[in-house]
Amino acid sequence: MMFRNKQEFKKEFSQRLIEAYGTTVDQTHPTEKYLVLGEMVRDYASVNWKDTKVAVSENQAKQVYYFSMEFLLGRMLTSNLRNLGIYDIVTEGLEELGIDYENLASMERDAGLGNGGLGRLAACFMDSAATENLPVNGNCIRYQCGLFRQRIDDQGNQVEVPDMWMRIGNPWEVRKLKHSVDVKFWGNVEVHGDENGNLHFNHVNAEHILAVPYDMPMIGAGTKMTNTLRLWSAEAADESPSWMDYREYLSEVNQICLNVYPDDSTEEGKYLRLKQQYFFVSAGIDSIINTHLKQYDTLDNLGEKVSVQLNDTHPVLAIPELMRVLMDDYGYSWDRAQAITMSVMSYTNHTVMSEALEKWPVEYVQKLLPRIYMIIDELNSRYGRFLNERYPNRQDLWYSTRIIDNGMIHMARLAVIMSHAVNGVAEIHTGLLESELFHEYYSMWPEKFTNKTNGITPRRWMLYSNPELREMLKSHIGKGFETDFSKIEKLMNHVDEPKLQEEFLRVKQKRKEILAAYIQRSTGIIVDPSSIFDSQAKRLHAYKRQLLNIMHVIYLYQRIKSDRNFRIYPHTFIFAAKAAPSYVFAKKVIKLINCVSKVVNSDPDVNGMLKVVFLPNYSVSMSEVLMNGSDVSEQISTAGKEASGTGNMKFMMNGAITLGTLDGATVEIDRLVGRENDVIFGMTVEEIESFRQTYRAMDYVNGDERIRKVLNTFIDGTWNGDRDDFRTIYDELLMKNDEYFVLADFDSYVQAQEQISARYQDRHAWARSCLINIAKSGYFSSDRTICQYADEIWNVKPLKF
């Protein structure tokens, strides 16, 4: 039964609480109330969910499957209620029952099924696809633990603790045992020929794992469209392998979905990660095939009816897996199987950093996935023959582009060769793919390559999390932008109005007060909401250069201490970042920030001019408070290294000014808002390239006293009395010659910060710039991005109900 108004909601909610827990509304615990509410909302959405499945089937619509090892969903309650249009009924109903909605909503634990931008992008795409009536389903792993939770100990170190996100239950998921499939590992392949000379491959002695899907509804805004995110869970099959101890088998099964791989930059923990990858990919392909056959009874038209988008290289085993199923299970020839596979698959690259480009040792794949290895090996040989025919004198091409190279399988190469479309995630990034990383492939198949600049869902990232701004916008440009976010540009007609500028400043002040309260709750640090809130929130990585930011803070601190007359506009520097547990340098930077924070915040000499905050346990929920409460958005990566960035868009959409390098999507932000409405500094990609050979970090130490003084604090015990603690950072900059050009960009960054402070003090001009940023943020809605994927890669049309 779907409740239609407040009264019906109250009745059903109270009834369900009684039925579920045998208690009155007052007696139930908030977590129980949250669970019951979540289940009610899921059931409410189930009617649309069913209607969507019927519509897809009746229209014989093409379906897209977004294969991603990560979906960083965050909390779902508010987003689902608002997308369904029942937020007011529910919150008012709860209020009449004496229940505080915000308190209930805070019971939900973030679904932290991802590391950072790549996983959050997948989640934004699910929201946008449903909203745009596009049949796009997600395919991922049902991790028992999300990415670790981060604590900071007394010394300032990051400590990782388990993220038991499902402890109280997950009301959004539905277990679908009937759709379980079998996934095989290890064992060996028997080959035998039949009377027609065809070879048959039989995977024997395998370890069988039961993959059980849990489906979550992905609810669109203002539409009935409800897609499915399918999360696969590993369970023991009824038989354990004869060659494996039964308990060993159980423990292997339990490992597979235990946790999110806590790294988005390097490759480690190899076998298990490989196992995770094949597990969700094989289960996903199987379930696509089953669904398709049920409707069409043939796989001949798979390429017309199914698209699989590979979110980076993690799911690239889907390529040989689909080949395997088509050939071994359904008797397709190699050539047919390859043609179908290529028309189904497309690949998104998210990074040019070489350490993040996955490569698997041949022997691992051979052992764990014997049949898959045979297929990859054959693909490689055939690719070699293709090159030979087309470029007979280009041995060099073979060496630089083959799939198997030096005993390693290059997943990105496999993906590029076997996909019909390859895309980067911002213009500059796609340009670098074409000119550098995938240059040879680009020369062969330029038509494969396209750009799809990332986007973010304006609902979670502004409309729902910044109601003050939403209401302000509504009263000036009408409601239309809520459903068609490109209409936000209408705001351009008003940016010169002093009244609006003042109104905006009041909204921002309100959001800053909310953030200040959050900071105090989670760190105990009291910050002044009238100071400049300057935030850098993203994974901790050398290329993202949190180090540059904290070095500037140290420089300011030293100047305040040494020059009594030196004044700066009060400034609060806010950091939020998790470091991969094994990433020593990144963890040191976290410690440094925390130690600097302790010293600076307790020094009376800084006199309210400077505060440093490290917010522990960066998460989606935290970002929903942090991004819209900030004045300045730090996007300061070494040019050419950040593929896109998506935090930059979240800050912009909520009226923060970008302080950034010309990298990733910041280049496009800069072009849209104009140089008067952001602050750009540092070397460009081209400058860095021509400078790389001759760069000597030491010259910057010798030539710049500010840098010298800052660096000295890393080896003289200033921050915690230990002279050796931060030596790794010192060495990284000097002994290893500063791979990310922190010192080279230091001066330019200091000047950029001075510009920020100067501009901030002209309150009206600042507000005008913020408003222009908001007005121009329409382009960065993931509604726009997903429609481009649909049009230009998948060729799928919005479904009409």
The nearest distance, CB 235 to ligand OX2, in angstroms, is 29
The nearest distance, CB 115 to ligand OX2, in angstroms, is 6
CB of 121 or CB of 625, closer to ligand OX2: 121
Asked whether the beta carbons of 384 and 402 are under 8 A apart, the reply is yes
CB of 9 or CB of 779, closer to ligand OX2: 779
CB of 110 or CB of 264, closer to ligand OX2: 264
The nearest distance, CB 357 to ligand OX2, in angstroms, is 8
The nearest distance, CB 685 to ligand OX2, in angstroms, is 14
State how far Cα 756 lies from the chain centre: 28
CB of 117 or CB of 220, closer to ligand OX2: 117
CB of 281 or CB of 771, closer to ligand OX2: 281
CA neighbor of 216 nearest in space, from 145, 106, 282, 138: 138
The nearest distance, CB 124 to ligand OX2, in angstroms, is 10
The token pair at 194 is 């039949």
CA neighbor of 440 nearest in space, from 415, 420, 413: 413
CB of 225 or CB of 579, closer to ligand OX2: 579
Instruction: Provide the CB-side half-sphere exposure for 155 (13 A, CA).
Output: 11
C-alpha to C-alpha distance for 417 and 414, rounded to whole angstroms: 5
CA angle 746, 750, 751 (to 5 degrees): 120
C-alpha to C-alpha distance for 74 and 120, rounded to whole angstroms: 9
Phi and psi, residue 309, nearest 5°: -100, 125
Phi and psi, residue 503, nearest 5°: -60, -40
Total residue length of the chain: 801
Q: How many CB atoms lie within 10 A of CB 694?
A: 7
The nearest distance, CB 103 to ligand OX2, in angstroms, is 33
User: What residues are annotated to the active site?
Assistant: 350, 538-539, 544, 646, 650
Question: What residue ranges bind ligand OX2 (CB under 6 A)?
Answer: 116-118, 121, 264, 312, 350-351, 356, 425, 454, 642-646, 664
The nearest distance, CB 780 to ligand OX2, in angstroms, is 11
Buried b (16+ CB within 10 A) or exposed e, 138-153: bbbbbbbbbbbbbebe
- What is the radius of gyration, based on Cα positions, of the chain? 27
C-alpha to C-alpha distance for 73 and 108, rounded to whole angstroms: 12
CA neighbor of 426 nearest in space, from 357, 349, 537: 349
Phi and psi, residue 106, nearest 5°: -75, -5
CB of 429 or CB of 571, closer to ligand OX2: 429
Report CA-CA distances (Å) from 235 to 34, 207, 278, 316, 445: 28, 12, 15, 23, 42
